[in-house]
Structure formats: C-alpha cells, structure tokens
Amino acid sequence: MARTNLSEWLLHRQVPPKLAETMTSVAAACAEIAEVLRTAPIEGISGVAGTTNVQGEDQKQLDVVSNDIFIEHLRPNRHVSALVSEELEEPLLFERSADEGGLAIACDPLDGSSNLDVNVTVGSIFSFLEVPADDPGAHLLQPGTEQIAAGYAAYGNSTSLVLVYQGQASAFTLDASGDFVLTAATLTIPSESAEYAINAARERFWDEATRTYVADSVKGEDGPLGKRYNMRWVGSMVADIHRILMRGGVFLYPLDSETVAKGGRLRLLYEANPMALIVEAAGGRASTGPGRLLEAAPSSIHQRIPVILGSSAEVERIERLYQQL
C-alpha cells in the first residue's frame, strides 16, 4: 500500500500553510512525548511532581514534561500567538511581530496521566483556534464550532495521531523513523453500537437520564433497548474515545450531583471541544445531555462541561431521556 505521511496529507487536504506548519509542530511535540513515555519508568519520571495544577490535581512529572515539550515546539512557530494548557493557570502569549501570529492552541498535554504508572494508554488532546494576532488573549473563549482543526495523540501499543480538518477526521501511526503514516484516511463512527463507557462507581451521583440509560443497557436483550450491551471504562479519555472512533460506542461523563458545582468533570476548551469536533466529523454526535456540545459558550479557559459523545443513535437516545425526564 502506498504510504502517505502527515506532510503529504496536509498538502492533499490543502490545509493552509500557517495551520499546516502548526499541526506539524503539534505532531512533532506528540512524537517527542511518545518517546519520553516509552522509557519513563526507567528514568524514574512516572511519579508525581509534588505540585498541583490549576484544577488542584496532583501533577505528574510527565504532565509538566509534556507541557514543556508543547511549549518548546510552539514557541519557535511564528504563527502561534497563544497556548492554553491544562497545566498553565493563564494562557501563555508569545511575542510576535506585526505580520506573524494568528493561531492559538488549547491543549491537555498529557490526559489520563493517573494511568502512567500502570502503563495504560494516555494521550495529548489539542484544539486549533484563529485569534487576532494583535490581541490573542482576549479571543480564546470560542465555542467549539469555531475550531479550525483539532486532534489527539494516543500513546498506546502504537502511537496514533487523529486529526480533523474541514469535517474529515483521519488517523496516523508513528513509525520507527518518527514519521506519522496515514492509517485511516476517513474515520467513521457506526451510528448504532452496544458499548458504553462510564465510571459506574459514580452511580449514586447520576441524574435520572444517565441512570435510566445505563439501567436499560444493563437489562440487555430483554430490556427496552432489545440488545446486549458491553461496558468499557479505561479512565483515560483518549483511550476511550479512540476505541469509539475505531468501533463505535458512547462515552459518558455527565453532570452529576458531585460535579454540578464545577460544571462537570472534563474541560471544555481542550478536552471536550476537540473530541466533539472529531466525533461529529466521523458522523457521531457530541452532547452535554441537554444540548450540542460544540455550541457551549466558554466562560473561562478551564471551564468544565458534561460530555456525552459517540455513536449518533446512542447519543440521541440519551438526549431524548434528558428531554423526557
């Protein structure tokens, strides 16, 4: 099979040079993170950093290292005006001359890092926004529909890179030479599925819609949904979403009685929005429960949001429950 690499894909998709160069910078950061993760336990850097991030969560050393790698690759890129990161309380603004800048990246440099010390897939999630080069910091709170591209890297058995641009999501795999090789030109999520991903230990906090959906799924063939369901929960969003992109399913981190005060568990700008853009491009559906996720208006760069996304028929089923209950 003729091999297409990331550079050839960017040309083929006619991605504008500024964005193409920036997607290349992010891909290079992900390739470097993959390399660091591969031997992290030997280097003794899989543990906690002894610091907490803006969310008050213990930072892993690799959270900080991954964030630094993103900065190292984006600072020299003259098109990038700003970086929003889960690991940075405030946006990082880069000094650019009058004819430079115009792009911002919102990222979670290393998502799922609580899985690092048990060698479970983790990932980097990123979103590309256009911002005025002369005042980038004032224009970062854009709804997900405004993203000009998005993607994630999944550091698993192999390193996958998924990118979405103009309504088409593609997947690449990192080869031994450090090049990303196209392995799926167009990702499509089956509209029907029988696999849901939720942290079932949170049942006591769930709202009625979530409780009803999961209870109906557990009833299997004899229940109202008339088919046998399976459950998966990796505890790493990138791993769960990648599985859904590859074979369908639905991912739920809904608003519940414990997370309602914070607006949800997952972050809007750099976890939910990029994943929602990818899922919708693949024919899936992305919801907050009551509404379309990509239309949520951010109020702060670290805002949290409920996330229900994946196979369209399953997400629609859940949305109908939110309307009824």
Residue 35 annotated as binding site: no
Residue 86, marked binder: yes
Strand order in the sheet with 250-253: 230-231, 195-197, 250-253, 307-310, 285-287
DSSP per residue, 41-89: HHHT-SSEEEEE-TTSPEEEHHHHHHHHHHHHHHTT-TTEEEEEETT-S
CA 228, 205, 124, 103 torsion-angle sign: positive
Radius of gyration in angstroms for the set of CA atoms belonging to the chain, rounded to a whole number: 19
**Exposed (0-12), middle (13-18) or buried (19+): which is 236, by Cβ within 10 Å?**
buried
* Short-list 247, 262, 227, 263, CA closest to 310: 247
The interface with ligand P6P within residues 201-220 (CB under 6 A) comprises none
Could you tell me the smallest distance in angstroms from the CB atom of residue 309 to ligand P6P? 12
Contact between 237 and ligand P6P by CB under 6 A: the answer reads: yes
Cα(265)–Cα(233) distance, integer angstroms: 15
In angstroms, give the least distance from the CB of 66 to ligand P6P.
14
Using CB under 6 A, which of 47, 235, 283, 292 touches ligand P6P?
A: 235
* Region 111-130 residues binding ligand P6P, contact defined as CB under 6 A: 111-112, 114
Q: Is 249 annotated as a binding residue?
A: no
- The answer to the question of whether 226 is labelled as a binding residue is no
- Find tokens 């103009």 and name the residue: 166
Name the residue with the smallest CB distance to ligand P6P: 237
From 67-75, 110-118, 174-182, 287-295, span contacting ligand P6P (CB under 6 A): 110-118
Q: Cα–Cα distances in Å, from 83 out to 74, 165, 301, 308?
A: 8, 19, 11, 26
Write b or e for each residue in 141-165: b if 16 or more Cβ atoms lie within 10 A of its Cβ, otherwise e.
bbbbeebbbbbbbbbbeebbbbbbb
d(CA 231, CA 251): 10
- The answer to whether 298 and 141 have CB atoms below 8 angstroms apart is yes
Applying CB under 6 A, among 53, 124, 147, 236 the residue interacting with ligand P6P is 236
User: How far apart are CB 242 and ligand P6P at their closest, in Å?
Assistant: 12
Asked if residue 137 binds ligand P6P (CB under 6 A), the reply is no
**Is residue 183 part of the contact set for ligand P6P (CB under 6 A)?**
no
Mark 289-318 with x for binding to ligand P6P (rule: CB under 6 A) and - for no binding: ------------------------------
Name which of residues 258 to 277 contact ligand P6P (CB under 6 A). Answer: 266
Least separation in angstroms between CB 166 and ligand P6P? 27
The interface region with ligand P6P, picked from 72-80, 217-225, 231-239, 297-305 by CB under 6 A, is 231-239
The least CB distance from residue 300 to ligand P6P, in Å, is 17
Give the range of 73-81, 89-97, 130-138, 235-243 binding ligand P6P by CB under 6 A.
Answer: 235-243
Least Cβ distance, residue 307 to ligand P6P (angstroms): 9
Question: Which ranges constitute the DSSP H helices of the chain?
Answer: 6-12, 17-38, 40-43, 61-74, 208-218, 237-247, 273-281, 312-324
Query: Are the C-beta atoms of 191 and 250 separated by less than 8 Å?
Result: no
Footprint on this chain of ligand P6P (rule: CB under 6 A): 111-112, 114, 199, 235-237, 266
Binding residue ranges for Mg(2+): 86, 108, 110-111, 271
Give the residue ranges of the annotated binding site for substrate. 111-114, 199
